[in-house]
Amino acid sequence: MKKSLKKRTQGSWANYALILLLSLFITTSLAQSRGKVLQSLKFQSQLLDSAINYSIYLPASYGKDATKTYPVFYLLHGYTDNETAWVNKGWVDQAADQGIIAGQVEEMIIVMPDGGLLWYLNQPNGKFNYEDMFIEELIPFIDKTYQTKPDRKYRAIGGLSMGGFGALGYAMRHPNVFGACVAYSSGIRPDDEAVLIPQNRFDRLYEPMYGKNVQGKDRLSKHWNDNNPLYLAKKLSEEQLNTTDWYISCGDDDFLFYGNIMLHKTFRDRKIKHEFRVYDGGHNWNYWRPYIGEGLNFITTSFRKDI
């Protein structure tokens, strides 16, 4: 009896030790597969005469081979958020890690800059030209500082809400810079909707870009049109627009649904190749968080095209 109990006890400890070793192995393997996130780093802009905060995701293999280079995904936050939002609220680093491990997502660098409340645009008075900074300074800085593939084919841009607006505009105005665009719940307004926005709300959202107390059709200025993806989608040539891979997504309960549907309709009518996704949800992280992986898959397909 005692002998049998001793054997069973020894067997149990052996099994426990084996399970513990396997758990340690799995935990170590998962840890080694996780990318690194560096938050709120600073980039000094000469054009803006100020520092711009940015966060960056580096895949797990980054730095192990000095000759290896990576595609870059610039990911823009929404109104009132900052450069930490896509990691702290959107968990984009986890989505990237999981996709890379599964072989569905290309190893990539994800750059998340702080855009303040400026809609990622140049100001009409020319005093704070954020877009110029982004294209002329930030991208060259990232290419110089990190192991990137400095080519439009391997450079994508995306964002949500205000960031979706910025991403669409950048991809449309700079087709030689970005090969793919992923836009969630983009803050795009059709003309008839823009003129009806209550004045206090319009001033709160758009004063830094379009001035205060701009009412009715006066809001539809040249500056407004030149930066409105809906206007650009009609104005730019089909040839130019089709050089970019487009992914557009919006929840069916989102207050910006109308503008996103109009962009889809314009693209479809003009035969601009794009992916358009509508899922159940509103204008919140409960919608964006589950589908960032789908966006990463999309730009991976773009990166791997013709390979």
Express each pLDDT in 152-202 by its tens digit. Answer: 999 999 999 999 999 999 999 999 999 999 999 999 999 998 888 898 888
Whether residue 111 sits in one domain with residue 127: yes
Whether residue 39 sits in one domain with residue 29: no
Whether residue 115 sits in one domain with residue 59: yes
Q: Which of 162, 156, 196 is nearest to 174 (CA)?
A: 156
Q: How far is 116 from 31, CA to CA, in rounded Å?
A: 33
**pTM summary value:** 0.89
Displacement of CA 99 from its chain's centroid (Å): 16
Whether residue 129 sits in one domain with residue 271: yes
Kindly state whether residue 206 falls inside one of the protein's structural domains. no
pLDDT along the chain (307 residues), means of 10: 51 54 44 85 96 98 96 97 98 98 97 95 89 98 98 98 98 98 96 89 83 80 91 96 98 97 98 97 97 98 88
Contacts of 13 (CB under 8 A, 6+ apart): none
CATH number for position 80: 3.40.50.1820
Q: With H, G, I as helix, E, B as strand and everything else as coil, classify residue 101.
A: helix
Q: With H, G, I as helix, E, B as strand and everything else as coil, classify residue 131.
A: helix
Whether residue 155 sits in one domain with residue 28: no
Strands (E), 225-272: 245-251
Look up residue 4 and give its amino acid. Answer: S
Kindly state whether residue 211 falls inside one of the protein's structural domains. no
Q: Note the pLDDT of residue 147.
A: 98
Enclosing domain of residue 76: 35-188+228-304
Q: How far is 296 from 244, CA to CA, in rounded Å?
A: 16
Whether residue 112 sits in one domain with residue 24: no
Whether residue 269 sits in one domain with residue 124: yes
